[in-house]
Structure 1
């Protein structure tokens, strides 16, 4: 895709300030969207639990162990966990959703998340993508590397599928 090549070139060698501002905009929008998704679930779906469809899947996800743990962490640690979550992978989404599910006041949430957005944008506009690209280049540089990468992806998919299946089995028992 020509567009993704241009984006990759921009992120790799664009002027720092523009890369930083672009990534800040992206992470700000993503965090706000995740927060408002949680807020929507808390205000609409918990009072009228959907029976099926995408709303039910969304509701079920909001009731998952990971999200419940995220809400617990937010309650135990307070708002400070919001900017700190931007220094993690995966946990960040759970905390942003948890802030919405707990119906944290939007101005308070935005003030808490903004330093995390800045830290995330700094990391990814400096070393983040360089490390990612170096890993990809290492794996893609040889047939054995490509095979290893494909194997890791398959392993992750299988492990996620097995975990989900085990959770569903526990719920049905």
Structure 2
């Protein structure tokens, strides 16, 4: 993250957007694969029935398509929501616009407030270990 924080804002924003877009879509396709006969390990099967996944499914059911972009503003539910979208076969014509909005929000948040936070933690660490 240090390298990204040293880049101009526009470049940092684009890099973060691409990173989160790749991650979110990979998670969506993993969900699709799990539904369509992908072999799941026992550990993965437990995650599909775990509390985070159940919370993600309830959020998706309650908020529908809005759950995808909103998940990018949360901690701990984002991956489960994207996996759930794939697992429940959310159509790409709905998922892609929603995930683009979510990724834009995430990239904006991390390229502004997030980078300031990382810089502050790094400065504090340097003071402590200094």
TM above 0.5, one fold?
A: yes
Is residue 2:30 matched to residue 1:44?
no
Residue 12 of structure 2 is matched in structure 1 by 19
Deviation at 1:141, TM superposition (A): 2.5
State the alpha-carbon separation in 2 of the partners of residues 62 and 138 from structure 1: 39
State the alpha-carbon separation in 2 of the partners of residues 105 and 18 from structure 1: 31
Deviation at 1:100, TM superposition (A): 1.2
Gaps of 5+ in 1: 1-6, 144-173
SS in 2 for 1:88: coil
Deviation at 1:140, TM superposition (A): 5.1
2:70 counterpart (74, 84, 87): 84
State the alpha-carbon separation in 2 of the partners of residues 29 and 112 from structure 1: 14
Bigger Rg, structure 1 or 2: 1
Is residue 2:54 matched to residue 1:59?
no
Structural mapping, 1:1-173, within 5 Å = 8-9=2-3, 11-45=4-38, 55-139=41-125, 141-142=127-128
Deviation at 1:83, TM superposition (A): 0.4
Deviation at 1:73, TM superposition (A): 1.1
Tell me the TM-score normalized by structure 1. Answer: 0.67
State the alpha-carbon separation in 1 of the partners of residues 112 and 106 from structure 2: 10
Which structure's relative contact order is higher, taking Cα pairs within 8 Å and 6+ residues apart? 2
Gaps of 5+ in 2: none
Tell me if the contact between 2:52 and 2:76 (Cα under 8 Å) persists in the aligned partners: no
Residue 166 of structure 1 is matched in structure 2 by none
Aligned length: 129
Deviation at 1:8, TM superposition (A): 1.7
User: In angstroms, what is the RMSD of aligned CA positions?
Assistant: 1.8
Q: 1:31 to 1:129 in 2, by over 3 A?
A: same
